[in-house]
Amino acid sequence: MADLKLPQRINRLEELAYNLWWSWHEPARDVFRALDYRQWRLSGHNPVRQLRKLTPEILAAAATDAEFLALYDGVMAEFDTSMSTPDTWFKRTHPDWLHGPIGYFSMEFAIHNSLPIYAGGLGILAGDVCKEASDLGIPMVAVGFMYPQGYFHQHLCVERNICQEEIYRQLNFDESPIRRVLSPNGDTVLASVRLNDFSVAIGVWLVRAGRTSVYLLDTNLEQNPPEHRDLSARLYTAEREQRIQQEVVLGIGGVRVLRALNINPSIWHVNEGHTAFMILERIREEIARGASFDEAVKRVRATTVFTTHTPVMAGHDIFPIDLVEKYLTNYWKAVGIDRDTFFRLAQEDGARAQALNMTALALEMSSQRWAVSQLHGKVTRRMWHGLWPKVPEEQVPITTVTNGVHVPTWVAPELSRLFEKYLGEGWIERHDDPALWEKVMDIPDDELWAVHQTLKRKLVSAMRERGRDRWVEDNVPPKQLLVLCSLFDPDALTIAFARRFTEYKRPALVFRDMERLKRIIGNQWHPVQIVFAGKSHPADFPSKYLLTQVYNQASERDFQGRLAFVEDYDMHMARYLVQGADLWLNTPRRLQEACGTSGMKASLNGSLHLSVRDGWWYEGYNGANGWAIGPDLVNPRPEEEDEADAEAFYRLLEEKIVPLYYNRDRKGVPHGWMRMVKEAMRSIVPVFCARRMLKEYTERTYQAAARPSLSD
Ligand SMILES: *Cc1c(COP(=O)(O)O)cnc(C)c1O
Give the pLDDT confidence of 36-48 residue by residue, as tens digits.
Answer: 999 999 999 999 9
Yes or no: say if 695 and 136 are a contact pair by the CB < 8 Å rule.
Answer: yes
Does the C-beta of 614 come closer than 6 Å to ligand 1?
Answer: no
- The per-residue pLDDT for 445 is 98
Measured CA to CA, the distance from residue 258 to residue 277 in angstroms comes to: 15
Dist. CA 620–CA 612, nearest whole Å: 11
Q: What is the pLDDT of residues 660-681, one digit of tens each?
A: 999 999 999 999 999 999 999 9
Report the separation in Å between the CA atom of 548 and the middle of ligand 1, taken as the mean of its atom positions: 20
- Residue 289 CA to ligand 1 centre (angstroms): 43
- Please check whether residue 456 is in contact with residue 439, taking contact to mean a CB–CB distance below 8 angstroms: no
* Residue 320 CB neighbour total at 10 angstroms: 14
The finding on whether 507 has its CB within 6 A of some atom of ligand 1 is no
Q: Which of 124, 312, 600 to mutate to test the pocket of ligand 1 (most atoms within 8 A of CB)?
A: 124
pLDDT band at 710 (very low <50, low <70, confident <90, very high): very low
In this structure, the residue with its CA closest to atom 5 of ligand 1 is 598
Digit-coded pLDDT (tens) for 45-64? 999 999 999 999 999 999 99
Question: Virtual CA dihedral for 304, 705, 142, 151, nearest 10 degrees?
Answer: 50
Gap between the Cα atoms of 510 and 489, Å rounded: 20
Q: What is the pLDDT of residue 1?
A: 46
Question: 201: part of which helix (H) or strand (E)?
Answer: strand 198-209
Lowest-pLDDT choice from 14-23, 123-132, 482-491, 521-530:
482-491
- Residue from 592, 597, 609, 617 whose mutation best tests the ligand 1 pocket (most atoms within 8 A of CB): 597
Q: What is the mean pLDDT of the segment spanning 543-570? A: 93
Decide whether any atom of ligand 1 lies within 6 Å of the 574 Cβ.
yes
User: Residue 686: CB within 6 Å of ligand 1?
Assistant: no
Give the residue whose CA is nearest to atom 1 of ligand 1. 598
303 Cα: distance to centroid of ligand 1 (angstroms): 30
Q: Which residues of 87-99 are buried (b: 16+ CB within 10 A; e: fewer)?
A: ebbbeeebeeebe
Q: How far is the CA of 227 from the centre of ligand 1 (A)?
A: 32
pLDDT recorded at residue 350: 82
Ligand 1 atom closest to Cα of residue 121: 4
How many whole angstroms from 534 Cα to the centroid of ligand 1? 9
Q: Let me know if 450 is exposed, middle or buried by CB neighbors in 10 A (0-12, 13-18, 19+).
A: middle
Ligand 1 atom at minimum distance from 570 CA: 13
| CB of 106 closer than 6 angstroms to any ligand 1 atom | no
Average pLDDT over residues 557-576: 95
Q: Which H or E run includes 231?
A: none
d(CA 270, CA 300): 12
Is residue 570 within 6 Å of ligand 1 at its C-beta? yes
* Nearest residue to 514 via CA among 565, 543, 554, 480: 554
Cα 109 to ligand 1 centre (Å):
12
Q: Which long-range contacts (CB under 8 A, 24 or more apart) does 162-167 make?
A: 162/541, 162/544, 162/545, 162/548, 163/547, 163/548, 163/551, 163/552, 164/535, 164/536, 164/544, 164/547, 164/548, 166/538
Q: In this model, does residue 306 exceed pLDDT 70?
A: yes
Distance CA 567, CA 532 (A): 9
CA 570 to ligand 1 centroid distance, Å: 8
Q: What is the pLDDT of residue 268?
A: 98
> What is the arithmetic mean of pLDDT over 113-120?
93
For ligand 1, the distance from its centroid to the CA atom of residue 574, given in whole angstroms, is 7
CB of 120 closer than 6 A to ligand 1?
A: yes
Pick from 117-126, 632-641, 647-656: least confident: 632-641
Atom of ligand 1 nearest to the CA of 405: 1
* Side-chain-facing half-sphere of 584: CA atoms under 13 Å: 28
The finding on whether 527 has its CB within 6 A of some atom of ligand 1 is no
| Ligand 1 centroid from CA 384, angstroms | 26
pLDDT at 19: 98
| Residue 161: per-residue pLDDT | 83
Task: Please give the distance, rounded to the nearest whole angstrom, from the Cα atom of residue 581 to the centre of ligand 1.
Answer: 15
Under 8 Å between Cβ of 704 and 269: no
**3-class SS letters over 438-450:** HHHHHCCHHHHHH
CA of 124 to the centre of ligand 1 (A): 7
- Give yes or no for residue 123 CB within 6 A of ligand 1: no
Residue 494 DSSP class? E
Confirm or reject: Cβ of 121 under 6 Å from ligand 1. yes
* Cβ 571 under 6 angstroms from ligand 1: yes
| 462 CA distance to ligand 1 middle (Å) | 18
Q: How far is the centre of ligand 1, averaged over its atoms, from the C-alpha of 681 (Å)?
A: 19
Atom from ligand 1 closest to the CA of residue 586: 7
- Closest ligand 1 atom, CA of 578? 15
pLDDT tens, 314-373? 788 999 999 999 999 999 999 999 999 999 999 878 888 889 999 999 999 999 999 999
CATH topology for the 89-403+695-711 domain:
Rossmann fold (3.40.50)
What are the residue boundaries of the structural domains of the chain, listed by start? 8-84, 89-403+695-711, 407-687
pLDDT of residue 708: 61
Question: Is there an atom of ligand 1 within 6 Å of 116 CB?
Answer: no
| CA–CA gap between residue 540 and residue 536 (Å, rounded) | 7
How confident is the model over 199-224, as a mean pLDDT? Answer: 97
What pLDDT is stored for residue 711 in this prediction? 42
Enter the DSSP assignment of 588: P
Question: What's the pLDDT score for residue 233?
Answer: 84
User: Distance (Å, rounded) from C-alpha 178 to C-alpha 171?
Assistant: 11
Q: Which atom of ligand 1 is nearest to the CA of 573?
A: 13
Distance of CA 35 to the CA centre of its chain: 29
The minimum-distance atom of ligand 1 relative to the CA of 599 is 7
Please write the tens of the pLDDT for every residue from 466-504: 999 999 999 899 889 999 987 999 999 999 999 999 999
Rounded Cα distance, 427 and 222, in Å:
50
| 710: exposed, middle or buried (Cβ count in 10 Å: 0-12, 13-18, 19+) | exposed
Residue 157 is predicted with a pLDDT of 86
pLDDT reading at 648 higher than 90: yes
Distance (Å) from CA 669 to ligand 1 centroid = 30
Asked if residue 127 has its Cβ within 6 Å of ligand 1, the reply is no
Judge whether 607 and 625 are in contact, CB under 8 Å: no
**How does pLDDT run across 395-453, given as a tens digit for each residue?**
999 999 999 999 999 999 999 999 999 999 999 999 999 999 999 999 999 999 999 99
Question: What value does the CA radius of gyration of the chain take, rounded to a whole number of Å?
Answer: 25
Across 208-227, average pLDDT: 96
709 pLDDT tier (thresholds 50, 70, 90): low
What 3-state class would DSSP assign to 39? helix
Among 504, 598, 601, 693, name the best residue to mutate to test ligand 1's pocket (greatest count of ligand atoms within 8 A of Cβ). 598
Helices (H) and strands (E) in the chain, counts: 33, 20
- Considering the domain delimited by 407-687, tell me its CATH architecture: 3-Layer(aba) Sandwich (3.40)
Domains 89-403+695-711 and 407-687 fall in the same CATH topology: yes
Q: How confident is the model at residue 712 (pLDDT cuts 50, 70, 90)?
A: very low
CA–centroid distance, residue 596 to ligand 1 (Å): 7
Q: How far apart are CA 508 and CA 585, in angstroms?
A: 12
